[in-house]
Amino acid sequence: MKAFAELYRQLDASTASLSKQAALQHYLRAAPARDAAWAVYFLAGGKPRQLVPVKLLREQARLAADLPEWLFDESYDAVGDLAETISLLLPDPGEALDLPLADWMQQHLLPLRGKPPEELPGLLQTQWRMLAADQRLVYFKLITGAFRVGVSRLQVTQALAAVSGIDAKVIAQRLMGYTHIGAQPSAEDYAALVSSENAETGAQGGQPYPFFLAHPFNLPLAQFDAVLGPADGWLVEWKWDGIRAQLVKRAGQVSVWTRGEELVSDRYPELQAMGEGLPDGTVLDGEILVWRDGRAQPFAELQQRIGRKTLGPKMLRELPVVLCVYDLLEENGADLRALPQHARRARLELLAVAFPHLQLELSPVLSARSWEELAAQRERARALGVEGMMLKRRDAQYGVGRTKDVGVWWKWKIDPLSIDAVLIYAQRGSGRRASLYSDYTFAVWNGPQDDPARQLVPFAKAYSGLTDAEIRAVDAVIRKTTQETFGPVRSVTPTLVFELGFEGIAKSSRHKSGIAVRFPRMLRRREDKSVEEADTLATLQALLPGPG
Amino acid sequence: MRAEADLIIARPEGLYCPPGDFYIDPWRPVERAVITHAHSDHARYGSAHYLAHHDSAPILRRRLGEDITLQTLAYGESIEHHGVRLSLHPAGHVLGSAQVRLEHGGRVWVASGDYKLEDDGTCAPFEPVRCDTFITESTFGLPIYRWPTQPELFADINAWWRANAEAGRASVLYAYALGKAQRLQFGVDASIGPIIAHGAVEPINEIYRAAGVVLPPTFHATDPALDKSMLGRSLVIAPPSAGRTSWMRRFPNPSDAFASGWMKLRGTRRRRGVDRGFVVSDHADWPGLQSAILATGAERVFVTHGSVDVMVRWLCEQGLQAQGFTTEYGDHDEADDASAHSPTEELPPAA
């Protein structure tokens, strides 16, 4: 695992994609196939089921380091990452062995899963005694599964393509399902990834196609004609706020895959039922949405279904989902992705007519004679609960990932809602921001300025939108204005006001404020505003969409 | 009773010795100041009389003015002032750094300033001094901070430099101009290529050489002998403030690295945005702090700048009487970004 630990170090240290690419290729060329199989699995986003309960891992690490709990917590607080904290605290190993990555996974780590809790301490301590210090971080990353090291799946795909000479699109297709949660990639699996045989791009079995992803488009309306050409060259739809998914029906089997390549067929039995009515060799691309009263419901409702493994009849009745479809990737077993967008759309519409189903909703095409007319229609987006519009070139093929070479999809989102809120709690970040207070909880007032009894009510957490320099400045204020510390969280005397942006807003009984916002982030620090001038709950409530 | 009997107390001006009527590393101008070492947060401008180790003198004069009133001592040499016997003992931090030992009325107190335990060869190594009360720093007072040994450290740095040299890339290593820069130059394998010292580093090199420290020869960046191939094999030692300046542009396709104890953490390493972070500190790591405190035999410990709360709690749990002292040394709050560290250890570039 020494080579893999070194790769991890290089990927982690570098911010340049060229040097990351070089490091990936260097590793893949040298690594035995059975190790490369696991390396690709983790770097492409694979995560095995929990091997050891985090609490037990933490406790065993604390015991091995011989530290009192509070000191372990202080250390964790300073580092901000459990795997890294443990790797820094363990005593020096006895006789360190350099075992291959595949051996670590198959002989030591995977067998930990499901072991009775009383056996785990002994097994872990034995492993730690033979684990070389420079391989610790990667070992604990394998266990905790939080592998983020700044490598995208696309970069892994490109590296595999470069070392194998196989087209990146073929690699992307072969990688579909490779990072499945229960996968145990072997040397054969790796060989199949980079094999020169069967180098066509078709999907097999229950596999989806690589998702085609959109690019953001934020130019002013006046430039649309110049940049995009006339509006009639584009197929325009709403941008839905749900879960992007493909429904695959082949050989009588229905599989529903999310964009994160999670197989979620079991979670949405109504989609499974809908798929069973479709002909074999059909692949639909669309959005999973909670659909009621003839319209999409806020993402917050879908969220209640996402985490559930067991679905009672009540939930299925109250939170029914549909697949809101906008593309047809395979028909009668034929891959349609090279057809132009409009042709795929025409076939999709015929299919929707031929196989009507309550859980199959066709995403409407928005027609207009000009960009101005579309912009006017876009004004309704908020009321409809959508994020804006999708602009798809009528002649676009269905590409692989976030590419533009065979066609392009743009997402033309509406401006975020915004509100001025007060920072009341701060927590340390992780990764690059470990040890800086970079994750904040924001509040608004529950009464007007002349109400002496009014209080600040927390309503959103946000951690993005500031530059590193701004975070450092805010971090300094937080340290100076701390009132209390609860573990990693500090409460502060309210002094900081931020303009928060968010994409959507909905009522929520699960939040103290009675309101849930979607994708909150900091737009800017309002140094010109005092805490008293921050917005109120009433302002927030006024942003709630009206009925219909 | 106890407070009156204390040999050192915290005052707004700095750490003060009441019977001797002098301060140790005061942060405001005072009549008499004992200086543990020449880093700018410990040696401040404006006091009427200074006392420090011989080897600190040239740096103090350079920083605080040639005309300061400065008395110097050798390690172990003692003087008496208002009945307080005072002597200086090696702290192993930078050239001339000293722990201050005070003896009065049968009690012994030691103020350590900043210290580290491992002998780096460029200054007198730390010597534990027995005392009743010890004042310790706590810059790296968390068990996550454990330094690699000197051989491990320099093997890593040399391997990085060698790989860059073979690829024709300059190796730019950022380090504080006083102490760390010299320690790095002393420890690297100078046969790999030429060493170029930044204008803020070279004057300190001269002071070290004059004190008898054998540093490898260093080049000035504009030296005509440095052709392109030599620049591509060079190790450039520069203070962090030299990063992103035009001075840096002369080096071909450089790989950069930062030398600091804070580089132990991925977060600080990545925020620095350099290719490599080497864990090098002139402060004690966690085991170092523990063994230094233990070796003094002190029953009372005062903890200054760094992880004060953590160290105080830990030492109390170990059965010592520990408490914190509020000071204005090293504005390095816990694991703050290394840039916040610069007031401590950086000198302005030579005019």
Nearest 5°: phi and psi at B186? -65, -35
Q: Note whether B267 and B298 are same-domain residues.
A: no
CATH code (residue B70): 3.60.15.10
Domain hosting residue B268, numbered range: 150-278
The separation between CA A149 and the C-alpha centre of its own chain, rounded to angstroms, equals 15
Instruction: Give the Cα separation of A46 and A147 in Å (integer).
Output: 9
Q: Note whether B8 and B118 are same-domain residues.
A: yes
Average pLDDT, chain B: 90
Q: Please give, rounded to a whole number of angstroms, the shortest distance from the CA of A466 to a CA of chain B.
A: 14
Strands lying side by side in the sheet with B235-238: B195-197, B235-238, B171-174, B255-259, B276-278
Q: Which residues pair with A296 in a beta bridge?
A: A291
Which of B248, B263, B278 finishes a domain? B278
Matching residue, tokens 């600080």: B268
Q: Note whether B104 and B182 are same-domain residues.
A: no
- CB-CB under 8 Å, A479 with B266: no
Residue scoring higher pLDDT (A387 or A13): A387
- Give B189-238 pLDDT, tens digit per residue: 999 999 999 999 999 999 999 999 999 999 999 999 999 899 999 999 99
Q: Note whether B135 and B232 are same-domain residues.
A: no
Q: Please give, rounded to a whole number of angstroms, the shortest distance from the CA of A151 to a CA of chain B.
A: 15
Q: Which residues pair with A419 in a beta bridge?
A: A500
**CA neighbor of A406 nearest in space, from A392, A423, A422:** A392
B-chain CB neighbours of A74 within 8 Å are 142, 307, 310
Chain B residues 299-318 within an 8 A CB cutoff of chain A:
307, 310, 313-314, 317
**Tokens representing residue B213 in the block:** 């420290």
- CB-CB under 8 Å, A433 with B143: no
Instruction: Give the Cα separation of A460 and A420 in Å (integer).
Output: 12
The separation between CA B255 and the C-alpha centre of its own chain, rounded to angstroms, equals 25
Q: Note whether B171 and B132 are same-domain residues.
A: no
**Beta-strand (E) ranges in A274-408?**
282-292, 295-296, 321-331, 334-335, 360-362, 388-393
Q: Please give, rounded to a whole number of angstroms, the shortest distance from the CA of A118 to a CA of chain B.
A: 28
Whether B100 is in a domain gets the answer yes
Chain B residues 101-140 within an 8 A CB cutoff of chain A:
none
**CA neighbor of A321 nearest in space, from A282, A360, A356, A265:** A360
- CB-CB under 8 Å, B264 with A88: yes
Residue A2 burial class via C-beta count within 10 angstroms: exposed 0-12, middle 13-18, buried 19 and up: middle
Instruction: Give the Cα separation of A525 and A515 in Å (integer).
Output: 22
- In a mutational test of the B interface, the residue from A20, A74, A151 whose CB has the highest number of chain B CBs within 10 Å is A74
Instruction: Specify the DSSP element, H or E, that contains A120.
Output: helix A120-129
Note whether B156 contacts A: Cβ–Cβ < 8 A: no
- Give A156-166 pLDDT, tens digit per residue: 999 999 999 99
- Whole-number percent of chain B with pLDDT over 90: 81
Q: Which residues pair with A425 in a beta bridge?
A: A441, A491
- In a mutational test of the A interface, the residue from B138, B142, B144, B244 whose CB has the highest number of chain A CBs within 10 Å is B144
The separation between CA A23 and the C-alpha centre of its own chain, rounded to angstroms, equals 25
- CB-CB under 8 Å, A435 with B267: yes
Instruction: Give the Cα separation of A90 and A428 in Å (integer).
Output: 23
Q: Which chain B residue lies closest to A475 (C-alpha atoms)?
A: B336
| pLDDT range class, residue B350, cuts 50, 70, 90 | very low
Nearest 10 degrees: CA dihedral of A29, A33, A35, A40?
70
Note whether B276 contacts A: Cβ–Cβ < 8 A: yes
Whether B311 is in a domain gets the answer yes
Alpha carbon of A106 to those of A101, A142, A456: distances in Å?
9, 12, 52
Matching residue, tokens 């901070």: B145
Are the CB atoms for B216 and B182 separated by under 8 Å?
A: no
Residue A213 corresponds to which amino acid?
Answer: L
Q: Please give, rounded to a whole number of angstroms, the shortest distance from the CA of A33 to a CA of chain B.
A: 27
A-chain CB neighbours of B143 within 8 Å are 65, 67, 71, 75, 88-89
- Residue-level pLDDT at A55: 92
Q: Which of A23-37, A174-188, A326-340, B20-34 has the lowest mean pLDDT?
A: A174-188
B-chain CB neighbours of A71 within 8 Å are 142-143, 310, 314
Nearest 5°: phi and psi at B4? -65, -35
- In a mutational test of the B interface, the residue from A70, A71, A471 whose CB has the highest number of chain B CBs within 10 Å is A71
Tell me how long chain A is: 548
- Residue-level pLDDT at A433: 65
Whether B322 is in a domain gets the answer yes
Domains of chain A: 2-144 (1.10.3260.10), 215-413 (3.30.470.30), 417-542 (2.40.50.140)
Give the β-pairing of B107-111 and B133-138.
parallel
- Give A114-153 pLDDT, tens digit per residue: 899 999 999 999 999 989 888 999 999 999 877 778 888 8
Q: Which chain A residue lies closest to B278 (C-alpha atoms)?
A: A13
Report the domain count for chain B: 2
Question: A100: Cβ–Cβ under 8 A, 6 or more apart, which residues?
Answer: A1, A32, A34, A35
Nearest 5°: phi and psi at B207? -65, -40
Whether B39 is in a domain gets the answer yes
Alpha carbon of B149 to those of A46, B7, B117, B156, B237: distances in Å?
36, 36, 11, 11, 21
Query: How many residue pairs bridge chain A and chain B with CB atoms within 8 Å of each other?
Result: 71
Q: Please give, rounded to a whole number of angstroms, the shortest distance from the CA of A213 to a CA of chain B.
A: 29
Q: Note whether B162 and B218 are same-domain residues.
A: yes
**Tokens representing residue A228 in the block:** 């995009």
- Residues of chain A by 3-state class (helix, strand, coil), percent to 5: 40, 25, 35
Whether B350 is in a domain gets the answer no
Neighbours of A451 (CB within 10 A): 11
Nearest 5°: phi and psi at A288? -80, 130
Q: Which chain B residue lies closest to A469 (C-alpha atoms)?
A: B271
Nearest by CB: A434 against B267, B277, B336: B267
Q: Please give, rounded to a whole number of angstroms, the shortest distance from the CA of A10 to a CA of chain B.
A: 9
Q: Note whether B141 and B158 are same-domain residues.
A: no
Residue A271 burial class via C-beta count within 10 angstroms: exposed 0-12, middle 13-18, buried 19 and up: buried
Question: A201: Cβ–Cβ under 8 A, 6 or more apart, which residues?
Answer: A167, A169, A170, A173, A335
Average pLDDT, chain A: 90
Whether B210 is in a domain gets the answer yes
| pLDDT range class, residue A472, cuts 50, 70, 90 | confident
Q: Please give, rounded to a whole number of angstroms, the shortest distance from the CA of A79 to a CA of chain B.
A: 7
**CA neighbor of A99 nearest in space, from A188, A189, A10, A38:** A38
- Give A353-407 pLDDT, tens digit per residue: 999 999 999 999 999 899 999 999 998 888 888 989 999 999 999 998 888 888 9
What are the helix (H) ranges across A494-543? 537-542
Nearest by CB: A78 against B142, B269, B273: B142
- CB-CB under 8 Å, B314 with A88: no
- CB-CB under 8 Å, B264 with A78: no
CATH code (residue B161): 3.40.50.10710
Q: Please give, rounded to a whole number of angstroms, the shortest distance from the CA of B15 to a CA of chain A.
A: 23
Nearest by CB: A75 against B143, B268, B336: B143
Whether B351 is in a domain gets the answer no
Matching residue, tokens 């942003």: A543
Nearest by CB: B267 against A13, A68, A433: A433
Whether B262 is in a domain gets the answer yes
Q: Which chain A residue lies closest to B312 (C-alpha atoms)?
A: A71
- CB-CB under 8 Å, A68 with B317: yes
Note whether B53 contacts A: Cβ–Cβ < 8 A: no
Q: Which chain B residue lies closest to A137 (C-alpha atoms)?
A: B266
Which of B255, B278, B301 finishes a domain? B278
A-chain CB neighbours of B268 within 8 Å are 434-435
Q: Please give, rounded to a whole number of angstroms, the shortest distance from the CA of A439 to a CA of chain B.
A: 15
Which of B261, B278, B295 finishes a domain? B278
| pLDDT range class, residue A304, cuts 50, 70, 90 | confident
What are the helix (H) ranges across A290-399? 299-306, 313-318, 341-354, 371-378, 381-384
A-chain CB neighbours of B332 within 8 Å are none
Q: Note whether B85 and B51 are same-domain residues.
A: yes
Question: A242: Cβ–Cβ under 8 A, 6 or more apart, which residues?
Answer: A287, A288, A289, A290, A296, A299, A302, A324
ipTM of the complex: 0.90
Nearest by CB: B334 against A78, A84, A429: A78
- Residue-level pLDDT at A389: 96
Instruction: Give the Cα separation of B196 and B235 in Å (integer).
Output: 6
Q: Note whether B189 and B212 are same-domain residues.
A: yes
Instruction: Give the Cα separation of A19 and A28 in Å (integer).
Output: 14
Are the CB atoms for B16 and B109 separated by under 8 Å?
A: no
Instruction: Give residue ranges of A with CB < 8 Å to any B CB.
Output: 12-15, 65, 67-68, 70-71, 74-75, 78-81, 84-85, 88-89, 429-436, 468, 472, 479
- Residue-level pLDDT at B343: 34
Note whether B287 contacts A: Cβ–Cβ < 8 A: no
Instruction: Give the Cα separation of A93 and A95 in Å (integer).
Output: 6
Q: pTM for the complete prediction?
A: 0.76
SS (H, E, C) chain B: CHHHHCCCEEECCEEEECCCCEEECCCCCCCEEECCCCCCCCCCCCCCEEEEEHHHHHHHHHHHCCCCCEEEECECCEEEECCEEEEEEECCCCCCCEEEEEEECCEEEEECCCCCCCCCCCCCCCCCCCCCEEEEEECCCCCCCCCCCHHHHHHHHHHHHHHHHHCCCCEEEECCCCCHHHHHHHHCCCCCCCEEECCCCHHHHHHHHHCCCCCCCCECCCCCCCCHHHHCCCEEEECHHHCCCHHHHHCCCCEEEEECHHHHCHHHHHHHCCCEEECCCCCCCHHHHHHHHHHHCCCEEEEEEECHHHHHHHHHHCCCEEEECCCCCCCCCCCCCHHHHHHHHCCCCCC
- Give A77-104 pLDDT, tens digit per residue: 888 889 999 999 999 887 888 899 999 9
* SS3 state of residue A231: helix
Q: Which chain A residue lies closest to B334 (C-alpha atoms)?
A: A78
Q: Which chain A residue lies closest to B317 (C-alpha atoms)?
A: A68
- CB-CB under 8 Å, A78 with B275: no
| pLDDT range class, residue A431, cuts 50, 70, 90 | low
Nearest 5°: phi and psi at A514? 80, 10
| pLDDT range class, residue A47, cuts 50, 70, 90 | confident
**Tokens representing residue A167 in the block:** 């087209």
- CB-CB under 8 Å, B273 with A89: no
Q: Which residues pair with B108 in a beta bridge?
A: B103
Q: Which chain A residue lies closest to B270 (C-alpha atoms)?
A: A432
The separation between CA B179 and the C-alpha centre of its own chain, rounded to angstroms, equals 6
- Residue-level pLDDT at A434: 67
Q: Note whether B225 and B300 are same-domain residues.
A: no
Instruction: Give the Cα separation of A379 and A388 in Å (integer).
Output: 9
Q: Note whether B136 and B166 are same-domain residues.
A: no
Give the max Cα distance, chain B.
Answer: 70
Q: Note whether B115 and B183 are same-domain residues.
A: no
State which of A42-51, A55-64, A421-430 shows the largest mean pLDDT: A55-64
| pLDDT range class, residue A274, cuts 50, 70, 90 | very high
First CA to last CA across chain A, in angstroms?
Answer: 58
- CB-CB under 8 Å, B276 with A89: no
**Tokens representing residue A186 in the block:** 């072997």
Q: Which chain A residue lies closest to B318 (C-alpha atoms)?
A: A68
**Tokens representing residue B250 in the block:** 């002369």
Q: Which chain A residue lies closest to B331 (C-alpha atoms)?
A: A476
